[in-house]
Structure 1
Amino acid sequence: MSVMKWSVIALAVAAGTSQMAFASQQSESKGFVEDAKLDLLLRNAYFHRDHKDGVQDQSRWGQGFIATFESGFTQGTIGVGVDAYGLLGVKLDTGKSREDGGIAFFGTDSSGKTQDDLSEAGVAIKFRASNTVLKYGDQMPSLPVLAHDTTRLLPQTFTGTLITSHEIEGLELNVGRFTGQNNLTETAHDNGRLKSIDVLGGTYSFTDNLSASLYFSDIKDVAEKKYANVNYIFPLSDSQSLGFDFNIYKSDYDSEFTGTGKDEDNTIWSLAATYSVGGHSFIVAHQRSHGGFNYVDDEGNIQQVGYAYDIGDGGNGIYLANSFLSDFNGKDERSWQASYELDFSEYGVPGLAWKTAYIRGTNIDTGMGDASEREIFNQVSYVVQDGPAKDLSLKLRNSILRTSNTYWNDMNEIRVFVEYPLSIL
């Protein structure tokens, strides 16, 4: 952890020439109750995976209720507050197959039957001094090396301590230790069997158009990870810009995790360039994975692992350009993306957006030769702008995946999300 500590200190020193944060958030606290918020998110979600290799199709449909409470902080030098959440997922349909197929909406009982509902609650206590918050308890962290999964019916949660500091304007520092992970389909605390994960890092905005991040993590008996990001947007005119986003992970996997009897490593990076003009965005990206390991699963099949995530660091712990249905993160995989985004507000329909992408990956080391994969992705989303249904959002996503990679099956996938946020307090 000493390397982690000194690297983040270096990031802070680099930012030291900037002015201190312009105001103390704690000094502006109105009180525990006065600044409190209570929100309820109604999420209706449907997944369908149409497998093309003779594997039975899977589908899941459920209604989720995600309630979050955030108190304000008591007044004084050190403020105290409480955050809490309550999660409930109700099964609406599971199709013909009992198999989950990686959809991860609901768990199964001892007979293999899909459970009718899923619920969880958590609470965390928080303290604030100046612009620094320490929170202990049940949380949903969103960091490049520890990011809870938000892509299913209910979110993933973790238990531990996280310090977030904004003492220098433009600089965010994070230090944390978590000892519990709750998986998406189970309700018992620490059902993810996480021993511990230590995280340390920060993000600094040099200007409105240039920012950089540096993060480290240590997942006990699993892996150590380093992550870096540089994001730059070059304005060309009032309506045009050229943006670049570079992300890289360096992972060292413990022999206890790999099962190969030795430590293994992987480096994966992506570089995306985006040209935006009006409501149009044209993106090209390249992603490259180097290293990894092969292992034999419980059925005797040889599987390849390049960049591994959701191994104690959350199901969204992959801040890379080519992460779609396939993450294109195989051992030694190289992938290219070409995509297009359209914001229809330019044409008088605010809230409506469309994204389409084509991604192709090659050179995947499967342990039995090279493999390739390709994906066509389309997503349409709409957010109601006004009226009784204001903020109601609809998202329809389709992926067509074809692969010779033994780890995946060919499939067509449809995801539908209908969400309605309610501000209760």
Structure 2
Amino acid sequence: MLNKRIGLIALGILSSTQVMANDQAESKGFVEDSSLKILLRNAYINRDKKNGNDDQREWGQAAIGTFSSGFTQGTVGVGVDAFGLYGLRLDKGSHSGGQGIDFFKRSESGNKTPAGDLAKAGAAVKFRLSNTVLTYGDQMPALPVLSYDNGRLLPESYTGTLITSKEIKGLELNAGRFTAESRKSAEGRDSGGLKSINVLGGSYQFTEQFKGSLYASDVEDVLKKQYVNLNYVFPLATDQSLTLDFNGYRTKLDKSYAEDVNAGGQDNKIWSLAATYATGPHSFTLAHQRSTGDSNLGYAYGGYQRGQNRVGDGGNTIYLANSYWSDFNAEDERSWQLGYGLDFGAFGVPGLTYNVAYVRGDNITTATSSGGTEREIFNQFKYVVQSGPAKDLSVKVRSSILRVSQKSSDYNDSGNELRVFVDYPINVF
């Protein structure tokens, strides 16, 4: 059914382009609008687990190259996007290759040692008619119901077709179908175990202050998912604002999948509402998040292997307020957040920012208990070099202290986490 809807919407988008603004007419050409960028990334994650659970640690160096051509001139423009990824494992210790960190996938045979390095590449062809682009091939989609994970050493990617239309000012529509997933820690185009996923939706800027989004997805033989977002910015005074941001997901597991992974039920609803008051360099956030339904998976997203209760729709497919190390997405969980952010640019250090958050969740239900709790203290410093030979180089240091009650041990693990990421983007042309 979703397949047919995608086809009908695609036809509607393409048929409407003749009466809309035609940005394709402004194309400078395949070569003239091309760009080649290289991102050098050094990434380290250390998870000091508690209560007898194994520690996890990963350290690696990556080179991420991306090429994006312009479009040929004419009514229909044609172009190409491509990427090449290489990762080198720097940590040879016994704690490397952790599933939750997933820099390098562990071998499935022998001593299960993770690979020493990995390399992969992908490409996609794209067509533009007016303000509508159809892309076919290897891509990194960033949609609320299919969002690739770029929070580790190398990014995920997907193979398929995506149509993105911006024919009406303020309105963006997306429709796509992807049939392969490339795991961030493994080589090959189809290392994620995904059969197929259909996505459909869009966002609209109603006014300068108000924006909304509505999306849906169907992961074959796994689940169906819907998403809604409402975001409103209240300007209060000079350099002051209040932002209200609502995000919500509704998921329904396929019956056979729910039985296969012992989910207990098929349904989950999860939503968050965040209020952020910004004044000058300071921001203060209060957020509430709530999960309901009969599935003991809670809100399921991302991952690769069916037996690990994962669904294959991207490791960043959780547009919710209380997602840090823990996602606070267990069955029946309710969580509150207090957050603070500071931009040191106002104090003579441009490029330096700091964020801290405290999140507490309760009412957690697992297959063996109810009434569990968890709490997390999150801290992050980030600095971006503003000028000179290292301009745009960024250093991000974040830590989390996560404590989970015994009743919630089937859902999550206690521990201390440290992440250090150094990203150096190079614009070749």
TM-score by length of 2: 0.91
Contact 1:30–1:75 (CA<8 Å) still a contact in 2?
Answer: yes
Matched residue count: 406
Question: What's the % identity of the aligned pairs?
Answer: 57
Match of 2:24 among 26, 30, 34: 26
- After TM superposition, give the deviation of residue 86 of structure 1 in Å: 0.3
User: Where does residue 202 of structure 2 map in the other structure?
Assistant: 202
CA gap 1:3/1:226 in 2 versus in 1, 3 angstroms: farther
Show the 5 A alignment for 1:3-22: 5=5
What residue in structure 2 maps to residue 373 of structure 1?
374
Equivalent residue number for residue 193 of structure 2: 193
Is there any run of 5+ residues in structure 1 with no aligned partner, and where?
Answer: 295-304
Question: Counterpart of 1:394?
Answer: 395
- Counterpart position of 2:415: 411
Write the mapping of 1:227-238 to structure 2, written as runs, cut at 5 A: 227-238=227-238
Q: Quote the offset at 1:94 in angstroms.
A: 4.0
Partner Cα distance (2:143, 2:283) in 1: 26
The Cα shift of 1:135 comes to 0.1
CA contact (8 A) 1:222 1:253 kept: yes
Q: Which residue of 2 aligns with 1:276?
A: 278
Matching residue of 2:307: none
> What is the distance in 1 between the residues matched to 2:3 and 2:78?
32
**Match for residue 425 of structure 2?**
421
**Aligned partners of 1:3, 1:233: CA distance in 2, in Å?**
35
State the one-letter code of the partner of 1:377. F
- Does the 8 Å CA contact 2:97/2:103 hold for their aligned counterparts? no
Number of the residue aligned with 1:159: 159
Question: How far apart are 1:4 and its partner, in Å?
Answer: 9.5
- Higher deviation after alignment, 255-264 or 214-223: 255-264
- 1:89 aligned residue: 87
Residues 255-264 or 371-380, more deviating: 255-264
Match of 1:354 in 2: 354
C-alpha distance in 2, partners of 1:98/1:396? 20
Q: CA deviation at 1:108?
A: 2.4
RMSD: 2.0
CA distance, structure 2, for counterparts of residue 140 and residue 3 of structure 1: 21
- The answer on 1:104 being equivalent to 2:106 is no
- For residue 321 of structure 1, report the CA deviation from its aligned partner: 0.3
Contact persistence 1:4–1:200 (CA under 8 A): no
Q: SS where residue 62 of structure 1 aligns?
A: strand
More displaced 10-residue stretch of structure 1: 180-189 or 379-388: 180-189
- Taking a change above 3 Å as real, the CA distance of residues 345 and 2 of structure 1, as seen in their structure-2 partners, is same
Q: Structure 1 residues 3 and 139 mapped into 2: Cα distance closer, same or farther (>3 Å)?
A: closer
Question: d(CA) in 2 for partners of 1:383 and 1:329?
Answer: 32
1:122-154 CA distance string (max 9 Å, x none) = 000000000000000000000000000011000
Q: Please say if residues 255 and 261 of structure 1, whose CA atoms lie closer than 8 Å, have aligned partners that are also in contact.
A: no
Find the aligned partners of 2:151 and 2:395 in 1 and give their Cα distance. Answer: 14
1-side partners of 2:249 and 2:92: how far apart?
36
Q: Distance in 1 between matches of 2:375 and 2:86?
A: 36
Retained in 2: the 8 A contact 1:254–1:263? no
Cα 1:128/1:332, change in 2 over 3 Å: same
Conservation of the 8 A alpha-carbon contact between 2:3 and 2:198: no
Hey, what's the Cα distance between the residues in 2 that align with 1:100 and 1:125?
35
- Give the CA deviation at 1:237: 0.8
Please list, as runs of the form range in 1=range in 2, the aligned pairs for 1:7-406 lying within 5 A after superposition: 23-98=21-96, 100-109=98-107, 110-111=109-110, 112-259=112-259, 260=262, 264-294=266-296, 305-310=297-302, 311-370=311-370, 371-404=372-405, 405-406=408-409
Tell me the distance in 2 between the aligned counterparts of 1:161 and 1:47. Answer: 33
> How far, CA to CA, are the matches of 1:258 and 1:219 in structure 2?
13
Residue 308 of structure 1 aligns to which amino acid in structure 2?
A: A
Q: Partner letter of residue 373 of structure 1?
A: E
Measured after TM superposition, the shift of residue 271 of structure 1 is: 0.1
Specify the SS of the correspondent of 2:237.
coil
| Matched position secondary structure for 1:362 | strand
Query: For the Cα contact (< 8 Å) 1:4–1:216, is it kept in 2?
Result: no
User: How far apart are 1:96 and its partner, in Å?
Assistant: 3.2
Question: Residue 293 of structure 1 aligns to a residue in which SS?
Answer: coil
| Structure 2: runs of 5 or more not aligned | 303-310
Q: Which shows bigger deviation, 25-34 or 90-99? A: 90-99
Which of 396-405 and 255-264 deviates more? 255-264
What is the distance in 2 between the residues matched to 1:240 and 1:98? 45
Distance 1:136 1:306 in 2: 33
Amino acid of the residue matched to residue 333 of structure 2? Answer: E
Q: Which amino acid letter does the alignment assign opposite residue 284 of structure 1? A: L
Give the alignment's TM-score, normalised by structure 1. Answer: 0.92
**AA of the residue aligned to 1:269:** W
Task: Report SS of the residue matched to 1:93.
Answer: coil
| Counterpart Cα distance in 2 of 1:317 and 1:261 | 20
Structure 2 distance, partners of 1:217, 1:409, is 30
Hey, what's the Cα distance between the residues in 2 that align with 1:398 and 1:262?
34
- CA drift at 1:186: 1.3
Q: CA deviation at 1:98?
A: 4.9
